[in-house]
Amino acid sequence: MTEILEIWGGHPLCGTVKIPSAKNSVLPLLAASVLCQEKVCLEKVPDLSDVQVSLALLRELGVSARQSGDRVLITPGRQLKSSLSTEMMHKMRASVLFLAPVLSRMGSVDASLPGGCKLGARPIDIHLDGLEKMGASIHWHEERLYLRAPHGLQGAEYTLRCPSVGATETLLLAAVCARGTTILHGAAREPEITDLAKFLGVCGGRITGAGTETIRVEGVPSLFGATYTPIADRIVAATVACACAAAGGCVTMQDVRAELFAPVLDVLEKAGCNIRREEERVTIERRDLLHGVGLVETGTYPEFPTDAAPLLAAALLQANGESCIQDTIFPKRFACAEGFGAMGARVRLQDAALYINSGAITHGAMTCAQDLRGGAALAIAALAATGKTEIRDAFYIKRGYADLKSLFRQLGGKMRMFKK
């Protein structure tokens, strides 16, 4: 049995959609709630399978955690556990973010390696190296990881060998209640890092410099709770924008600021879309043919985001002229290229670069999702293709989109999801 997303393409998209809170902000905030001594309420949280996994991990630790509509309510337990199941850890990459807060709070944690989309090797060496520098001891036994810090974590000055988003989040979560001061050099600058630091600050943490490559943390004994609305999901916004660019039409995205996904909007404008940027709203319109944009390279924020690379590729299948998208972060970002080819697009994958010289009339096809953003990219390509497309293993898409079919149905897209 698998989940299938069926799309009937060839119709322009028109209308308005609200952009939900960012998955990649909500997940670290849920891990951070382990450190909170009081209730936490997160608002505008989409119903994602990765959110459900995080709530299950919190419940494994003895924390009361549930989602009611678009609110997540967390009530910390008095006596926390410190073991995270292999089954849950394997379900997503963000499960790694639970290591630091549990270790900080309990003095020990045992878990397995995280799961996550297969985008290439995704080690956690920077996470672990940083925790060691803060006083943790690390042991492996039968593919389980045992971290100990019986005397608590100690602030340290640490340079990340690469600006890893997850490792920066791990070290922020380790430092916020550590003894003394931590200074992180070479930190990631993504908006989700800034959002985590802002949430920790609202809960009583003392963090400066988030959003820059040097972050300073003064450890505090414990954190309060908070009611908090995470930032908008810039990758969901990029998904909607690329879908409108692909299928044509005019779409307004509410509750999102243009600067959150500026590199994506800039490339779509270069390809021939009209973009209107307002305070908390962006409107994109595509009436004429798209044209190729040459080379686009992904990078760490504020460069073009790796997660939007397959989404942009799907839009550029409709463009006249050449484009090349080079992902500098993950070697296996374009597993969706196989599906693009099945739809008749002229694409060539060479290492982590996807060459697009399409402008062909793409048609519906039988395809298969292999990761979250690749699955969403196939849906975008299908919206522009004539006829019916089926995307098997569509469960990947539910990791990052609460209900992609409803999102696009609101805009006139013809989609249904079913099991077979």
Residues designated catalytic: 117
* In the complex, least distance from residue 68 CB atom to ligand EPZ, rounded to whole angstroms: 23
Residue 329 within binding range of ligand EPZ, rule CB under 6 A: yes
Q: Draw the binding track, 336-365, toward ligand EPZ (x: CB under 6 A; -: no contact).
A: ------------------------------
Nearest of 292, 291, 351 to residue 326 by alpha carbon: 351
C-beta separation of 142 from 213 below 8 A:
no
Taking CB under 6 A as the criterion, the residue among 32, 34, 117, 404 binding ligand EPZ is 117
Residue nearest ligand EPZ, Cβ-based = 166
Nearer residue to ligand EPZ within complex by CB, 24 or 362: 24
The kind and range of the H/E element at 125 are helix 125-133
* In the complex, least distance from residue 27 CB atom to ligand EPZ, rounded to whole angstroms: 5
- The rounded distance, in Å, linking the Cα atoms of 67 and 374 is 27
* In the complex, least distance from residue 39 CB atom to ligand EPZ, rounded to whole angstroms: 24
Q: Which stretch binds ligand EPZ (CB under 6 A): 7-15, 125-133, 261-269, 275-283?
A: 125-133
Nearest of 103, 227, 112 to residue 176 by alpha carbon: 103
Residue 99 within binding range of ligand EPZ, rule CB under 6 A: no
Q: Which stretch binds ligand EPZ (CB under 6 A): 55-63, 77-85, 119-127, 275-283?
A: 119-127
Q: Would you state the structure tokens that stand for residue 345, as one six-digit string?
A: 């697009």
- The rounded distance, in Å, linking the Cα atoms of 342 and 337 is 9
- The rounded distance, in Å, linking the Cα atoms of 19 and 234 is 8
Q: Which stretch binds ligand EPZ (CB under 6 A): 115-123, 288-296, 359-367, 385-393?
A: 115-123
Q: Would you state the structure tokens that stand for residue 63, as one six-digit string?
A: 């924390």
Q: Rule CB under 6 A: which of 154-193 touch ligand EPZ?
A: 162, 164-167
* In the complex, least distance from residue 333 CB atom to ligand EPZ, rounded to whole angstroms: 9
The residues that bridge with 354 in the sheet, in sequence order, are 325, 349
Residue 302 within binding range of ligand EPZ, rule CB under 6 A: no
Taking CB under 6 A as the criterion, the residue among 4, 13, 27, 237 binding ligand EPZ is 27
* In the complex, least distance from residue 376 CB atom to ligand EPZ, rounded to whole angstroms: 9
CA torsion through residues 340, 343, 345, 347, sign? positive
Residue 124 within binding range of ligand EPZ, rule CB under 6 A: yes
Nearer residue to ligand EPZ within complex by CB, 4 or 126: 126
Taking CB under 6 A as the criterion, the residue among 104, 194, 306, 370 binding ligand EPZ is 306
- List the strands of the sheet with 347-350, edge to edge: 294-297, 323-326, 353-356, 347-350
- The rounded distance, in Å, linking the Cα atoms of 392 and 389 is 10
> What DSSP letter does each residue of 196-263 carry, written as one string?
HHHHHHHTT-EEE-BTBSEEEEE--S-B--EEE-PPB-HHHHHHHHHHHHHH-EEEEEES--GGGGHH
Q: Which stretch binds ligand EPZ (CB under 6 A): 118-126, 214-222, 257-265, 335-343?
A: 118-126
Nearer residue to ligand EPZ within complex by CB, 14 or 56: 56
SS (H, E, C) 324-355: EEECCCCCCCCCCHHHHHHCCCCEEEECCEEE
Distances (CA, A) of 146 to 35, 89, 93, 289: 19, 14, 18, 56
| Other Cβ atoms closer than 10 A to 138 | 12
Residue 372 within binding range of ligand EPZ, rule CB under 6 A: yes
Residue 307 within binding range of ligand EPZ, rule CB under 6 A: yes
Residues at the interface with ligand EPZ (CB under 6 A): 23-24, 27, 93-94, 117, 121-127, 162, 164-167, 306-307, 329-330, 372-373, 400
